[in-house]
Amino acid sequence: MKNTKKANKSVHLSALKAAFPHTVPIMAGFLFLGASYGVLMASEGFSFLYPMATSILVFAGSMEFALAGLLLGGFDPLSALILTLMINSRHIFYGISMIDKYKGMGLKKIYMIFSLCDETFSVAYTAEPPPTVDRGWFTFYISLLDHSYWVIGATLGGIFGSLIPLGIVGFDFAMTALFVVILLEQLMKEGNLLFVIIGGLSSVLALLVFGQDSFIIPAMLLMLLAIVLTRSVVDKDKSQREEPS
């Protein structure tokens, strides 16, 4: 009994030790961005319990920033649902890529799927544990460490954000800056320009027609429609690359 317990403990310890170095680059980012999210929530008058709870329960950075906006607006469950599905749709493709890697990992797999954010995916998909370390627990601790950094950052931001003098405004720009950076990164990937234009034009059009309080859903429908319609164009481009258009 005692021996299995000891062996079990060393499995965890060695997995945690092997996982930690892979998460260090993410630690800085998550502590800072998490803290910005916490400060933003505090500056809008929310208790630190909000950023703490949402960073535990949602754990999808850009969605949490968007959630801050949702909580400040009027009650609109349908928009909240559709916005979440659209922003987080990329998770579906992370999941598909991890199906084989997460096979046979038992109960901890449930937590690993629950916490599969962009950064955890990029590390868990590529990082190789040393041969003596259990792969399942290695990936589990990568997920847990990343999640913890974000929760710690958001909670501290929420606590200390309330110390910021009243009347200082503009912390919400952290969200704008983050989205601009992600958009730039998307633009640097080949073939994405068309989709950025589609997303931008659909949104501007919907904003002009429906106004700023109710443009999100029409913008998303328009965007989906345009994406579906351009598929034939994109594919045609591929098959008729030689022909001038």
Partner 1 sequence: MTFYEGIITITIVSVATMLTRFLPFLIFKSGKLQSGYMNYVGRALPPAVFAMLVIYCFKGMSFAAPSGFLSQLIATAVVVILHLAFRRTLLSVAAGTAVYLLLVNLFFV
216-235 binders of partner 1 (CB under 8 A): 216, 219-220, 223, 227-228, 230-231, 234
Q: Which of 148, 203, 217, 237 binds partner 1 (CB under 8 A)?
A: 203
* Tokens read off for 158: 């929420």
Contacts (CB under 8 A) with partner 1, residues 88-127: 88-100, 102, 113-114, 116
The total of other beta-carbon atoms located within 10 Å of residue 98's CB is 19
The answer to the question of residue 21 lying near partner 1 (CB under 8 A) is no
The upper half-sphere exposure of residue 80, i.e. CA atoms within 13 Å in the direction of its Cβ, equals 14
Residue 78 CB, nearest approach to partner 1 (Å): 9
Cβ pair 38, 65 in contact under 8 A = no
Which residue, 86, 89, 82, 84, is CA-closest to 65? 84
Question: Using CB under 8 A, which residues numbered 124 to 153 contact partner 1?
Answer: none
Q: C-beta of 239: minimal distance to partner 1 in Å?
A: 13
Instruction: Work out which of 197, 221, 225, 229 binds partner 1, going by CB under 8 A.
Output: 197
Contacts of 225 (CB under 8 A, 6+ apart): none
Residue of the chain from 1, 2, 3, 57 that contacts partner 1 (CB under 8 A): 57
How far apart are the C-alpha atoms of 133 and 135, rounded to whole Å?
6
